[in-house]
Structures are given as structure tokens and as C-alpha cells.
Amino acid sequence: MEDVIRSRPTLFFLIVLALLFLVMSRSSQTRYVGETRTMFERTVMTIFSPVPKAVNWAGRSASDMYHGYLDMRRSVNENNELHRKVAELTAKNLRLQQSEGDLRRLRTLLGYSEQVDMPTTLATAIMLDTSGRFKSLIIDRGSDAGVEVNDAVVNANGLIGRVVLTTKDLSKVQLITDSTCAVGTLIDRTRRQGVVRGDGRGGAQMYEVPSLADVVPGDTATTAGIDGIFPKGIPVGTVIKVAKGTDLFKGIAVKPAVDFGAIEEVIVIHTRKIPPQVARYAP
């Protein structure tokens, strides 16, 4: 019994071979007229025809996916390169715009300095303090550049203040908005003189102007050149309010000509200092 069971696979294999031989023998005799393929060949081709189609489809799909991936990577790289170039051009354009603005400011400053008949030095603001008790500005020029205490500091818009302290390469400037700063001024329209002092809050007041003087909002105040520090003719500010005031003088509010929050380059005017012996001399 066991021998029969063991011989079954061999018997099954022999039967299959016999059937295949029979089919092949039969198929060789079943050619149609004009047909070059046997029935066996047609059967095999019919059964296995989807295989090459599937292989062809898989190949085309893989090729399309591969080329699509390459196209996508190429597009991504081109997009990144375009973004990089746009960023570079944007930065370059900003630098050019900034340079153009710097050149305009410098031309204005240089033109202004040419109108002053005193030696001048161009400096850059490196620190601004308008929140402390003492309103001040630090510039990058000092005694090595010829800057001295009481030199006037201006920009193209008008008066900024005066130098109160110097080192070899830095100077401290007291702003005209400081409450301890006083500037001899006059009203351009009427030539009425007065004194402008800072109010400590970003503005200024004009004092010593008689109550009968002709001063109205919109009048321009410039340096009078009578305080021994500031040269004559520098714009100080614009009158924005005129009140009756106390006693015999008007109360005049002045808006400074300079926007202290936008100071970049300044001009230091090396003013003619009045020697103490001359100022104090009494015959």
C-alpha cells in the first residue's frame, strides 16, 4: 500500500507528460489552411498574451514615472534657482535704493555745508537718547577730527544742537529739545529776536518775545547769531502756537525743524569761539 502511495507522484507526472505529448502531436495536425501556427501555439499565445502586455504597460509606466520624477526635480531646481535670483535682485535693488537715498542726503548736506563760511566736518549719528533727562546724540567724530566743545551740529533741515563733550573719536551733542539748551533766534518775517529753549518733550518754546510783537503760527525761527555759539541763519523751527503768555511776553510753541528720530548724517560746524577774556572784559 505504501509503495502505491509513493509511486503516485511519478505516475501523475508521467500522465501529464503523456497528455502534453498527445496535445502537441494533435496540434501539429490541426493547422488551418494558410495558418502557420498550430493549435497549441495559438492556445499558449492566447493564455499568455496578457503577460507581455502587462510587462509593456509596467515598463511604460515605470519609464513615465522616472521621466516625470526627473522633470519634477528639474522644475524644483529651476524654481529654487529662480527664487534665489529674485532674492538677489531684490536685495540688490534695495541696496541701490538705499545708496541713492544716501547720495541724495549727502549731496544736500554737502550743498548746505558749502553755504557755511566756516570749516565743517561730516559725521554719522551712532546713538540717540531722547528718553533720558539729558537729550543727546553721539556722533562718530571727535577731537582727532577737529571737533570742539560748543561746535554747532546741523543737518540739511536745520539745527540739531551743540557739542558738549569730546573724546578722540566720539562727541556728545546736546539737542535743542533739551530743557537746559538755549538758542538765540529771530523770526524771519519780522526779525524779532528771542530765545528758544527745549521743553524736554521733543518740542521747544520761544521766550523773551514782547506781547505786542508780530508773531503768528507758521512763522519760521532761525538762529540769530547773538549767543556766541550758533552761527546766524540756521533754521531752528516753525511757530505752531502763540498765546498771550504771562507778564509782558508771549507764550510761543515751536516745532523743531529737525526730525530727531530720523537723524543719520550730520554736519559739525567749527564755530568761531569767543574767548572768555573778550566776553568778560569790562573797561
pLDDT tens digits for 179-234? 999 999 999 999 999 999 999 888 999 999 998 899 999 999 999 988 888 988 88
* Lookup: cell for 143: 577731537
- Dihedral sign for Cα atoms in the order 237, 238, 241, 246: positive
What's the residue count for the chain? 283
Q: Is the pLDDT of residue 142 over 80?
A: yes
Least confident window among 28-32, 74-78, 240-244: 28-32
CATH code for residues 120-272: 2.40.10.340
pLDDT attached to residue 13: 66
- Whether 221 and 185 have beta carbons less than 8 Å apart is answered as yes
Q: Is the pLDDT of residue 44 over 90?
A: no
Least confident window among 35-44, 60-69, 232-241: 35-44
Q: Where are the domains of the chain?
A: 2-48, 120-272
Distance of alpha carbon 192 from its chain centroid, rounded? 45
Q: Where would I find the H helices in the chain?
A: 2-27, 39-48, 50-115, 276-279
Q: Is the pLDDT of residue 4 over 50?
A: no
- Whether 220 and 189 have beta carbons less than 8 Å apart is answered as yes
A 10 A CB-CB count for 135 gives 24
Distance from C-alpha of 162 to C-alpha of 148, rounded to nearest angstrom: 10
Closest CA to 141 of 270, 268, 9, 276: 268
